[in-house]
């Protein structure tokens, strides 16, 4: 299950960008440390010893900037880091308040403690919002029945891969898969069992492809696989493994029994120079149609 999630995260981050921990701007931690050092340096250079509480509280309010940056990029972890950055100042003033019984230290200790609580609260809220955003994104790009990416996201990924092929000149293969006689299977066993068969086929696809490949439900009983940096021979070998796995996997019934396995036909196309994403799909679809007419349960290439 973790491996499937890792594969899906790879494909999603390929479109949205890199994972959060690698999205940090260059020199991010140096900037954060510098921001934390600015208020105490300004405090020592500009304010004379004594109370000046409002001035000092205003200067240390500058820490809201690194707090926002940390929470934006790291969520709850950012809030905890922001709180840890303030902790030494809190303990220093708390020690001063306990040892010297000075109102000055007491007020600033309370101020820093409130700032730490505020940092953690902002981190919690930001982390929750980030998780909700990720959940909404997953729902928008995932087919509910199969758990694979949906038709819309497939085309988005394919456009990205075609752009990369044009830029870096590596190979790209596209596979469109159609489950054979699926309408007859639905009529024989019912639509709920047909849904279970689709989910079973989707699991086989996910378990067979690489982490860098993108698997999607293209529509109905059709699936599609985007294979970056894959030659025609490599794509055909992969499809043969998938075809054999589908053909040898019975579909379980509710009472522990199993129906006969399904078979599938494959159309394999590779990117050619100046080809658009739509043309690549049309080519794979045309090859799939030839496989269906040639007896089904076949892997067909150009």
Catalytic positions, written as ranges: 221
Exposure pattern of 192-230 as b/e (b: 16+ CB <10 Å)? Answer: ebbebbbebbbbbbbebbeeebbbbbbeebbbbbbbbbb
The distance of Cα 105 from the centroid of its chain, to the nearest Å, equals: 47
* Dist CA 281 CA 277 (whole Å): 6
* Dist CA 153 CA 234 (whole Å): 24
> Contact, 154 vs 277, CB < 8 A?
no
* Dist CA 274 CA 279 (whole Å): 10
> Contact, 226 vs 271, CB < 8 A?
no
Tell me which DSSP letter residue 260 carries. Answer: P
The distance of Cα 113 from the centroid of its chain, to the nearest Å, equals: 36
> Contact, 224 vs 216, CB < 8 A?
yes
Helix (H) or strand (E) holding 251: strand 251-252
């Amino acid at each position: 299950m973790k491996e499937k999630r890792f594969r899906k995260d790879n494909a999603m981050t390929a479109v949205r960008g890199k994972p959060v921990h690698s999205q940090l701007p260059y020199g991010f931690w140096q900037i954060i440390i510098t921001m934390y050092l600015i208020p105490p340096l300004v405090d020592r250079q500009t304010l004379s010893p004594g109370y000046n509480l409002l001035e000092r509280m205003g200067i240390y309010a500058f820490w809201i900037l690194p707090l926002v940056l940390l929470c934006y990029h790291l969520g709850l972890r950012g809030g905890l880091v922001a709180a840890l950055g303030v902790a030494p100042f809190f303990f220093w003033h708390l020690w001063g308040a306990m040892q010297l019984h000075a109102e000055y230290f007491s007020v600033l200790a309370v101020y820093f403690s409130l700032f730490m609580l505020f940092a953690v609260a902002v981190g919690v809220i930001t982390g929750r919002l980030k998780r909700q955003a990720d959940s909404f994104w997953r729902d928008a790009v995932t087919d509910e029945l199969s758990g694979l990416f949906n038709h819309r996201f497939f085309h988005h990924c394919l456009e990205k891969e075609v752009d990369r092929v044009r830029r870096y000149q590596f190979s790209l293969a596209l596979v469109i898969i159609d489950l054979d006689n699926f309408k007859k299977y639905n009529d024989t066993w019912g639509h709920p069992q047909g849904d279970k068969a689709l989910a079973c086929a989707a699991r086989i696809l996910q378990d067979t492809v690489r982490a860098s490949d993108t698997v999607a439900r293209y529509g109905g009983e059709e699936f599609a696989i985007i294979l970056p940096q894959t030659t025609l021979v490599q794509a055909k070998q992969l499809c043969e493994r998938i075809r054999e796995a589908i053909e040898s996997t019975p579909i379980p019934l509710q009472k522990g029994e199993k129906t006969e396995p399904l078979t599938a036909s494959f159309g394999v196309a590779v990117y050619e120079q100046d080809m658009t994403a739509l043309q690549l799909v049309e080519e794979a679809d045309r090859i799939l149609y030839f496989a269906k007419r040639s007896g089904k349960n076949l892997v067909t290439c150009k």
